[in-house]
Amino acid sequence: MEREKFLPVTAVDVRARGWDGVDFVYVTGDAYVDHPSFGVSIISRVLEAEGFRVAILSQPDYKSCEDFRRFGRPRLGFLVSAGNIDSMVAHYTVAKRRRTSDYYSPGGKMGRRPDRAVIVYCNRIREAYGDVPIILGGLEASLRRFAHYDYWDNRVRRSILVDSRADILTYGMGENILRRLARLLDRGIPIKKIRDVRGCVYLAPRGEKIHYDYVECGDFNEIKQGGEAYARAFREQYRNQDAITGKAVVEYYDDKMLVQNPPMPPLSPEELDEVYALPYARTYHPDYEAEGGVPAIEEVKFSIAHNRGCFGSCNFCAITFHQGRAVRARNEGSVLREAELIAADPDFKGYIHDVGGPTANFRAPACKKQLEKGVCLDRKCLFPTPCKNLTVDHTAYAAMLRKIEKIPRVKRVFIRSGIRYDYLMADKNREFLHQLVTHHVSGQLKVAPEHCAGAVLDAMGKPRIGVYEAFKREYFRLSAEAGMEQYLVPYLMSSHPGSTLKEAVELALWLKKEGYMPEQVQDFYPTPGTVSTVMYATGIDPLSGKRVYVAKDYREKQLQRALLQYARPQNADLVREALRLCNREDLIGFGPGCLVRPARGSQGQKAPTRVSRGGKKTSKNTGVQYNGARRKPAMEKSASHVKKDPQKPTARRGKK
């Protein structure tokens, strides 16, 4: 791919365009991939379309400020992002172990960005240019815009705007925010005077006039203690994330105040169409070719994001705090044009991997009321049961998928990002479910019941397990009718707030009843910007004010995780320990209802035997039955992707 199709990444590239300088330098912790699944690419192309000169400083050498002088001092300022995900999530597992690879770096190599990348980059920029304007954006900045619990430090940290010494932080989806800021800066308005742009956060002296009606969420000196003060602060922040009903939110830091202006309204379908029609190169920069490219492109190169926002509002998900609950979708024509671009790619093999977003089967706002009055403050659209005002309709989405499949060179269209099965089951018209099963599943469908215990599902904001079980029955019935052997892979999570060992045992028994053993399990990962993370930090549900049990002890988390994989021989000791602690020794034995055998040397350790059809004695074994096919008891077919890796890019992830 010719360099000219990308924005400049070196001073030579700048001169080759005939520029004598740049308006903005966009600093990012990711490798430069010019594709609309990457926030840096979207924002830089939007600014380019507005006539601004933008250069990309990708994964700079952060050990000194020299690399930050690569393009000289930009005329209007620096834009700074850690990349598509939080740099700490990119670097560390939930066990706080250093990851061995980085999807967003050339060749998947670690070490190309620092921990807490936004803070480090801003400090280097200040060293290089002093008071040059710095604007923060991206997921790391957006989710850390207020005082927040930091899992890796195990404490409440200050707003990242305070620690980075930047001038303005943008949160949520940034296209119109950056358009507005760029125009004001271009008119010569000093960045310290810009106070009224929606979607922005700034620091000001206490008592300065605030341009919007506002609520106070607290003083950092109290919030940092955690407990009720932190939970109350988060609740105020969470309740003011809607562009229609949201007020400004103020948080105090000694003699200063942090002001979050109300959210910028979501882009209209026509505005989204314009964003996705920009001239993206749709691949990584050619400078990375020698290192094997950038792994992140593989998941999204042949995928399409058709919507933004999510009214599912799972408590462990940060989408509500970043993109918001108001769903907006691109027009059908825009999606079809992108599908045609994908089909024309020489590397295209005929399969579009995903037409999705945060939740694939949301194509419109939850109800008409949201368009005029905003989202409900104290009622979720799908939890605990679907709202009576919820509009459930898959016809437009189904029709669009069928049209994509008719495009020349397109053989199949799959859906790999999240399907809300509770929303699907609320649809009395089963035509889309039939279409999903027969056309859009690539052998296995991944859905997210997450748990089976009512107390845990309530803490998660997820529907009761009976909804999943009803969906499963329909899925396999339709698969069988179509003569297709297909699989269902349920995402499961251990140690989420609300889960004691008792609930973990309940989940293990449910798995045994289902005949399913997950190959990998995702431990709850307390990342900034979620309701569940506040529960983990405080033991309080910030939305209801109720106390919630939290498993923080490392040993207990090990036990809960082991119970979800109770059949693994290496987990046997942990499972027995967990069952004894729960007074469930009745589940240790050889009976059909038992989870684990007794330890060697204990009474009655010899396993019973049974006679096979050939007359040979074999060890008793429980099989996995899915779609009528009896399988080995350990793992689902092709279950290597069962683990939800927060680092892995998909079309469903929130983009900035």
> Each residue of 385-429: pLDDT tens digit?
999 999 999 999 999 999 999 999 999 999 998 899 999 999 999
Question: Is residue 12 domain-shared with residue 129, that is, in the same domain?
Answer: yes
Strand partners, 214: 248
Res 2: pLDDT? 83
Are the CB atoms for 203 and 166 separated by under 8 Å? no
Ordered alpha helix ranges (H), 78-193: 87-91, 117-129, 138-143, 160-164, 175-186
Question: Is residue 299 domain-shared with residue 170, that is, in the same domain?
Answer: no
Percent of the chain with pLDDT over 70: 91
Helix (H, G, I), strand (E, B) or coil at 194: coil
Question: Is residue 302 domain-shared with residue 198, that is, in the same domain?
Answer: no
What single letter denotes the amino acid at residue 285?
H
Res 601: pLDDT? 72
- Is 569 within the bounds of a domain? yes
Question: Which residue is listed with tokens 């889960």?
Answer: 499
Domain interval for residue 566: 295-613+634-641
Q: Is residue 613 pLDDT above 50, yes or no?
A: no
Phi, psi of 477 (to 5 degrees): -65, -45
pLDDT single digits (tens) 453-492: 999 999 999 999 999 999 999 999 999 999 999 999 999 9
Q: Is residue 618 pLDDT above 60, yes or no?
A: no
The total number of structural domains in the chain stands at: 2
CA angle 469, 472, 477 (to 5 degrees): 130
Q: Is residue 347 pLDDT above 50, yes or no?
A: yes
- What is the per-residue burial (b if ≥16 Cβ within 10 Å, else e) of 624-641? bebeeeebeeebbbebee
Give the mean pLDDT of 183-192: 98
Q: What span, in angstroms and rounded, lies between the C-alpha atoms of 452 and 621? A: 24
- Is 651 within the bounds of a domain? no
Are the CB atoms for 31 and 284 separated by under 8 Å? yes
Pairing of strands 54-58, 624-626: unpaired
Q: Is residue 649 pLDDT above 50, yes or no?
A: no
CATH number, position 441: 3.80.30.20
Res 563: pLDDT? 97
How many DSSP H helices and E strands does the chain contain?
23, 26
Res 223: pLDDT? 98
- pLDDT band, very low/low/confident/very high, at 98 (cuts 50, 70, 90): very high
Are the CB atoms for 579 and 585 separated by under 8 Å? yes
pLDDT single digits (tens) 17-74: 999 999 999 999 999 999 999 999 999 999 999 999 999 999 999 999 999 999 999 9
Q: Among 343-352, 368-377, 568-577, 631-640, which is the least confidently predicted range?
A: 631-640
pLDDT single digits (tens) 240-276: 999 999 999 999 999 999 999 999 999 999 999 999 9
Give the mean pLDDT of 551-555: 94
- Angle between helix axes 332-343 and 269-276 (nearest 10 degrees) is 20
Res 606: pLDDT? 52
Helix (H, G, I), strand (E, B) or coil at 629: strand
Question: Is residue 486 domain-shared with residue 602, that is, in the same domain?
Answer: yes
Question: Is residue 549 domain-shared with residue 442, that is, in the same domain?
Answer: yes
Give the mean pLDDT of 74-103: 96
Q: Is residue 604 pLDDT above 90, yes or no?
A: no
- Is 364 within the bounds of a domain? yes
- Is 628 within the bounds of a domain? no
Q: Is residue 97 pLDDT above 50, yes or no?
A: yes
Question: Is residue 383 domain-shared with residue 496, that is, in the same domain?
Answer: yes
Phi, psi of 50 (to 5 degrees): -85, 0
pLDDT single digits (tens) 319-342: 999 999 999 999 999 999 999 999
- Is 624 within the bounds of a domain? no
pLDDT single digits (tens) 107-126: 999 999 999 999 999 999 99
Question: Is residue 183 domain-shared with residue 324, that is, in the same domain?
Answer: no
Res 519: pLDDT? 86
Q: Which of residues 175, 202, 229 is at a domain's end?
A: 202
Give the mean pLDDT of 516-533: 93
- pLDDT band, very low/low/confident/very high, at 603 (cuts 50, 70, 90): low
Q: Which of residues 177, 202, 227 is at a domain's end?
A: 202
- Is 37 within the bounds of a domain? yes
Q: What span, in angstroms and rounded, lies between the C-alpha atoms of 551 and 56? A: 43
Give the mean pLDDT of 611-636: 36
- Is 277 within the bounds of a domain? no
Residue 263, preceding peptide bond in cis (omega within 30° of 0): no
- Is 650 within the bounds of a domain? no
- pLDDT band, very low/low/confident/very high, at 631 (cuts 50, 70, 90): very low
Question: Is residue 396 domain-shared with residue 526, that is, in the same domain?
Answer: yes
Q: Indicate the helix (H) or strand (E) that contains 248.
A: strand 248-253
Are the CB atoms for 461 and 418 separated by under 8 Å? no
Q: Which of residues 156, 186, 202 is at a domain's end?
A: 202
Res 562: pLDDT? 97
Q: Is residue 619 pLDDT above 60, yes or no?
A: no
Exposed, middle or buried by CB within 10 Å (0-12, 13-18, 19+), for 438?
Answer: middle
Q: What span, in angstroms and rounded, lies between the C-alpha atoms of 30 and 80? A: 11
- Angle between helix axes 501-514 and 554-564 (nearest 10 degrees) is 10
> Average model confidence (pLDDT) for the chain?
91
Res 602: pLDDT? 66
Res 520: pLDDT? 81
